[in-house]
Structure 1
Amino acid sequence: MQLELHLIINRHAASGNAAKSADLVLSALDNKQISYKDYSTDYPGHAIDITRELLKTTLTPWPDKKANSRFPLLVILGGDGTLHEVVNALDQHFHIPIAYIPCGSGNDFARGVSLSRDPLMALEHLLEITEPQPYHVLHYLENIQEEEGYATNNIGIGIDAAIVARSNVSASKQTFNKFKLGSLSYLYTAIQVLTKQKGFPLMVEVNGKSVGFDNAFLCTTTNHPYFGGGIAIVPEADVKSKAIDLVVVERIHLLKLFRLIGQLLKRKHMSSPYVHHFKSQNIRIVSTTSQFGQADGEELDSRPFDIQFTTVERLFWL
């Protein structure tokens, strides 16, 4: 089946570095004489508006019922945040496939699905595929504000969300992104935030059992191994699995914390007595105190949380 590509391009991703990647991809498509239409985002949330308009006019579920037509394939050129917007704009249209060419600073989803972070190699991979594959994404329902959504990477409250909030307004992020060192930006900001983040009470409900923590520090629900631009928070997590992985880290003395960070970077942190790992198809977390929250690196308001997590299967052209 021939494709007509519909490219949503976030040229502002990775502090503007994505523009160069997008130009390379468009030039390659022109050289290959491949049919496409491109739509550039101009403001935060614009990818949502573009996707919803394409839903009304263009996009169809797989497989296309029109045997002789070009299949309209939605392609995202941007970072994890752009992908997050599109997945949520598609909502329950799980059979409309998404192709992805990573052009962000973190690119954790690309790492999680073993997709090349080189835009031209990702494009070649896209063009070789003949049908989409199902992958699982996180589905969450926040009961206090009745907020519902999806995440392709992870959702967290506590230190990781505080780092996201600080990193998104940090001048160092643009500096590191300029040299394609987005992971260092996350680590640099993390060190700045570590001393300020306090522990907080947390309740985790898994398989009908409740576990309480008096001094939680990090609480991250993830769909694959990576967060923070390539840090393997749950090395064995699998995006093909229905199960959700939740990691809770307790607040400990700063020296022990830096030792734990060293273990994290070496992927040896899961054996620490301060790291608690839960795995289930249904998980609930409750934080009664206001904390920063994040979903795929997108900030959630600082507030109490009562979140129910499951996974749903959706199609990706990967």
Structure 2
Amino acid sequence: MEYFIIVNPTAGGNNGRKTWPKIEKFLKTKSISYRAYFTEYDGHAVAIAMQILNQVTATNHPDAVLVAAGGDGTLHETLLGCMRFYTEHPQINTPQVPIGLLPIGSGNDFARALNVPRHWQQALEELLACQIATKINIGHFINQDNQTDGYFLNNFGIGLDATVVYLANHSLVKHYQRFSGLAYWASVIHAVQTAKPFKLTVTHPDGDTQIYPNAFLVTTTNHAYFGGGIDIAPQASVYKNTLDLIVVEKPTRRQIALFVFMLLLKRHLHLRFVHHFSGVHFELKTNESRYGQIDGEELGSKTYDVSYETKTYPFWIKEIAATH
């Protein structure tokens, strides 16, 4: 095998820059064939992934694996580059090049969903031990306003969680690993205090609609976790051909405390102001501008008219990690 590794040096508060020399030493010690590429700006991993796939397919490379070394954002961009490449080159009839992951970021929710170790050496050992790719479900969305589309590995959020992402990303201490957790929870508190509810319309494949006039947190998720390990949808799985939708209506202060307590017990879905369902296809529409996020990447503040479904992509994960 030859591993094409996309390294994000700034992942996890510059943890990527500190960890890469150790990863490289390990690879050289094991005489592993690899090539490293380093991201330099937001979105760079998309272009790098497309560049790698262009090289691999042009030479008909039979044993290539594309590895995202970073956090969920790096992995998201890597997947986006792969999906974009194969969409733009439909004539390619060779198997899709699988994606592996080295979770050296701060959140690493997709690694949790795949049961991949979050220590780089354990994760790398499992990656190198892999023998065959596993098809994993990913989220696919279509913006109905302009018929553009995109993909997500973790979740597509509107409202509270997206506001937290916005505030955390613009925190002055975000790039300092020692204070990243503090910045995140400060952003959570600020978002809970300032975010406003909005009207959400959910449309199901049969045309049935549900309206939530005071939606506060809206998350379409591909697996159980969001926000760095919060178990928001306990029954969701990348191995199910469905996406899970969680809608939390604006809670009172007492309900917030109850929600947090029940969340820790994984019983929050029983609360009357929390709504949940799984589906193969559905559409969400808002009539007010709110922050949005995809896999921790900001979408800005806007209205949404988006439909959701699942697609698949091969991932290079150890067989035991694929057990479900």
Q: Which residue of structure 2 lines up, in the alignment, with residue 78 of structure 1? A: 70
Query: Are the counterparts in 1 of residues 53 and 97 from structure 2 also a CA contact under 8 Å?
Result: no
Runs (4+) of structure 1 moved beyond 6 Å? none
1:157 maps to a residue whose letter is I
Query: Are the counterparts in 2 of residues 195 and 254 from structure 1 also a CA contact under 8 Å?
Result: no
Cα 1:191–1:105 change in 2 (3 A) is same
2:51 maps to a residue whose letter is E
Is it true that 1:28 corresponds to 2:26 in the alignment? yes
Query: 1:70 deviation in Å?
Result: 5.8
Q: Which residue of structure 2 lines up, in the alignment, with residue 255 of structure 1? A: 254
Query: 1:252 deviation in Å?
Result: 2.0
Q: Which residue of structure 2 lines up, in the alignment, with residue 270 of structure 1? A: 269
Secondary structure at 1:18 match in 2: helix
Deviations 1:225-250 (A, max 9, x none): 00000001101111111011000000
Query: 1:266 deviation in Å?
Result: 3.0
Q: Which residue of structure 2 lines up, in the alignment, with residue 307 of structure 1? A: 306
Query: In 2, distance between residues paired with 1:223 and 1:35?
Result: 32
Count of residues in correspondence between the two structures: 307
Q: Which moved more, 1:296-305 or 1:260-269?
A: 260-269
Deviations 1:103-132 (A, max 9, x none): 110000000111000100011001111110
Match runs of 1:221-240 below 5 Å: 221-240=220-239
Query: 1:178 deviation in Å?
Result: 2.4
Query: In 2, distance between residues paired with 1:194 and 1:51?
Result: 37
1:316 maps to a residue whose letter is F
Query: 1:21 deviation in Å?
Result: 2.2
Secondary structure at 1:173 match in 2: coil
Query: In 1, distance between residues paired with 2:254 and 2:138?
Result: 36
2:242 maps to a residue whose letter is A
Q: Which moved more, 1:290-299 or 1:258-267?
A: 258-267
Query: Are the counterparts in 2 of residues 158 and 219 from structure 1 also a CA contact under 8 Å?
Result: yes
2:35 maps to a residue whose letter is K
Q: Which moved more, 1:142-151 or 1:293-302?
A: 142-151
Q: Which moved more, 1:121-130 or 1:46-55?
A: 46-55
Secondary structure at 1:75 match in 2: strand
RMSD: 1.8
Query: In 2, distance between residues paired with 1:129 and 1:169?
Result: 38
Query: In 1, distance between residues paired with 2:225 and 2:57?
Result: 30
Q: Which residue of structure 2 lines up, in the alignment, with residue 160 of structure 1? A: 161
Query: In 2, distance between residues paired with 1:80 and 1:216?
Result: 26
Query: Are the counterparts in 2 of residues 59 and 73 from structure 1 also a CA contact under 8 Å?
Result: no
Cα 1:166–1:59 change in 2 (3 A) is farther
Query: In 1, distance between residues paired with 2:30 and 2:97?
Result: 25
Q: Select the residue among 23, 45, 48 that pairs with 1:47.
A: 45
Query: Are the counterparts in 2 of residues 140 and 307 from structure 1 also a CA contact under 8 Å?
Result: yes
Q: Percent identity?
A: 37
TM-score, normalised relative to structure 2: 0.90
Query: 1:185 deviation in Å?
Result: 4.2
Question: Which structure 1 residue ranges, 5 or more long, are not aligned?
Answer: none
Q: Which residue of structure 2 lines up, in the alignment, with residue 103 of structure 1? A: 104
TM-score, normalised relative to structure 1: 0.92
Q: Which moved more, 1:85-94 or 1:212-221?
A: 85-94
Query: 1:151 deviation in Å?
Result: 0.4
